[in-house]
A = this chain, B = another copy of it.
Amino acid sequence: MAKAATLPERERGVCCPPTIKVRPERVEGTTEILKALADPTRLQMAIALRDADQPVCVCDFTATFDLSQPTVSHHMARLREAGLVEVTKKGIWSFYRLRSDLPLGARRILEALG
């Protein structure tokens, strides 16, 4: 991550396209994860799930954030569609936790947060 202090010498009309080393499919996947986390509510939900030692039920999030229940449910659905969390129903409650088979890339991003 070191940067040269000097600026490159350039010639008019000649550009130097940087090499994109990330595979396109990976770009798309990473973007989806970032979009799922790029919301204050979902970010806090994801961090809470990451740090929780037990699955968290939806009513807890509804009690935590000043949002309507459908909105909380909507955010959980987005985290689920992004492949970040999984849900287990027990009685009336829905318990969420981070997916156990979380890809390494997703795990690294989650651990970089907070």
Contacts and interface: CB of A to CB of B under 8 A. Distances in A.
Contact of A98 (B3, B43, B59): B3
A34 interface: yes
A114 B18 contact: no
Copies in the complex: 2
A46 B75 CA distance: 27
A64 B12 CA distance: 17
21 contacts: A1-B50, A4-B54, A6-B54, A7-B55, A8-B95, A12-B92, A15-B60, A15-B63, A18-B56, A20-B44, A20-B47, A21-B47, A21-B51, A22-B43, A22-B47, A27-B44, A30-B43, A34-B37, A37-B38, A109-B109, A109-B113
